[in-house]
């Protein structure tokens, strides 16, 4: 699989004060709260598959809808290039809430020592599709580091803007679940068993 040699500009601010938060399904989750805005959230897990195989799964852009269902309602691929893609995503929210959407650009790269990174950020342009409430700031990355031939560490970091206003309990629940469900989606895609907690 071809990848870009350059990635999107660093979307994650350096030196974020991550603190341990919880663990679920083999994913350790940390949070960096930076009031008054949304936090940054990071989930880390070891996966019994090669870094190359995991990277192939998270850059299988044409199958994002099925990989990340049911969390994503639609994942329309607007354009793609060598190792990159631009999507219109719609996330379903239960009534009476309105769905959220965003335009997101992805870029993948091979790093030193067999590691990989997939970076993303918001990339709305005039004429892009829009549905419901737009999430204006989207940013994050997935880092994949080999731990041997058939094992790797996946670190998923994202900015917790949910778009609009939610009760505090709903925000906390969404932030806690996002990295766990992301790692679980990778495991499902690779047909790997869930670890015991």
Cβ neighbours around 103 below 10 Å, total: 21
Mean pLDDT over residues 71-81, rounded?
Answer: 94
Give yes or no for residue 52 having a pLDDT over 50.
Answer: yes
Q: Is the pTM of this model over 0.75?
A: yes
Give the pLDDT band of residue 197 (cuts 50, 70, 90). Answer: low
Give yes or no for residue 38 having a pLDDT over 70.
Answer: yes
Give yes or no for residue 89 having a pLDDT over 70.
Answer: yes
Domains belonging to the chain, first-starting first, are 40-189 (3.30.530.20)
Contact between 131 and 90 under an 8 Å Cβ cutoff? The reply is yes
Model confidence pLDDT, tens digit, residues 185-194: 999 999 999 9
Mean pLDDT over residues 145-156, rounded?
Answer: 96
């Amino acid at each position: 699989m071809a990848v870009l040699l350059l990635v999107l500009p660093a979307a994650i601010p350096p030196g974020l004060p991550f603190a341990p938060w919880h663990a679920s399904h083999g994913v350790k989750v940390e949070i960096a709260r930076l009031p008054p805005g949304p936090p940054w959230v990071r989930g880390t897990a070891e996966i019994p598959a090669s870094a190359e195989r995991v990277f192939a799964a998270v850059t299988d852009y044409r199958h994002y809808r099925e990989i990340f269902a049911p969390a994503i309602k639609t994942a329309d691929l607007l354009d793609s290039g060598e190792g990159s893609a631009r999507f219109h995503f719609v996330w379903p929210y239960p009534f009476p809430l309105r769905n959220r959407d965003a335009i997101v650009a992805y870029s993948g790269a091979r790093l030193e020592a067999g590691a990989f990174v997939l970076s993303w950020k918001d990339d709305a342009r005039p004429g892009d599709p829009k549905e419901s409430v737009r999430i204006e700031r989207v940013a994050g990355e997935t880092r994949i580091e080999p731990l041997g031939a058939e094992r790797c560490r996946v670190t998923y970091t994202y900015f917790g803007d949910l778009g609009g206003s939610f009760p505090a309990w709903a925000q906390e629940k969404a932030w806690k679940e996002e990295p766990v469900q992301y790692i679980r989606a990778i495991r499902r895609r690779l047909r790997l068993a869930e670890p015991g907690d």
